[in-house]
Structure 1
């Protein structure tokens, strides 16, 4: 019983950490996109924009 409880707890912690990691990746990509917009570097914008999980209208709003 204790082993099952430990496994469930470990699985839950792993899920939380992986979601946090994915959000951190998206945040850094968004920061790079904002930097590309501020510095008027369209090649950087084209490089990082496809990596985000955005709809086409959200991508158009960045441009």
Structure 2
């Protein structure tokens, strides 16, 4: 019996199989909505921000 999961965007049930090319999303539309939310920083993984040595606060050098 195939596993079913809810689409992270719209909660529609998605069968986790080769029949679902956009899994865990139900469609390309839902996949792109999720990608846009990450790109707009509406979603984030919790934790301390990474500090990159060349990008310390006050370092306004352009590359």
Q: Fold-level match, TM-score > 0.5?
A: no
Structure showing the higher helix proportion among its residues:
1
User: Structure 2-normalised TM-score?
Assistant: 0.27
Structure showing the higher strand proportion among its residues:
2
